[in-house]
Amino acid sequence: MSTKRRVKLARTFLGASLLVLIGTGFSTVSNASDASDVKYESKYVQVVVLPGESLWSIAEVVAQGGSIRSVVEAIMAVNHLASADVSAGTKLMVPTR
């Protein structure tokens, strides 16, 4: 086999190998994006505090007979609140049950 033919064969093999690697890369990226399309149900809803409402009154509705204190603590934790004092118009993430 001549040297020119070997070089040409090596280039062809290298080019084909690169195409296979690139195709595999795109396939992997495509599969990764498919996995991120999964819909997750949120365990929280956003609530806007109305005039006259408090964290405790909101928690009482959510608790449904359970521990209101634990719901207040959960709301404070997820919203990074230092106290249970909230003003009207504040947007809060509230756990659902």
What secondary structure, in 3-state letters, does the chain show? CCHHHHHHHHHHHHHHHHHHHHHHHHHHHHHHHHHCCCCCCCCEEEEECCCCCCHHHHHHHHHCCCCHHHHHHHHHHHCCCCCCCCCCCCEEEEECC
One domain, residues 24 and 54: no
- Residues 1 and 27 both lie in one domain: yes
Domain that holds residue 17: 1-40
- 91 band by pLDDT with thresholds 50, 70 and 90: very high
pLDDT-based confidence at residue 14 (cuts at 50, 70, 90): low
Are 87 and 53 in a shared domain? yes
Average pLDDT (2-30) is 65
59 versus 15: which is more confidently predicted? 59
- Pair 53, 91 in one domain: yes
Domain co-membership, 49 together with 28: no
CATH number for the domain spanning 53: value is 3.10.350
CA distance 37 to 82: 35
Q: Model confidence over 33-89: pLDDT tens digits?
A: 444 555 555 688 898 999 999 999 999 988 888 899 999 999 999 999 999 899 999
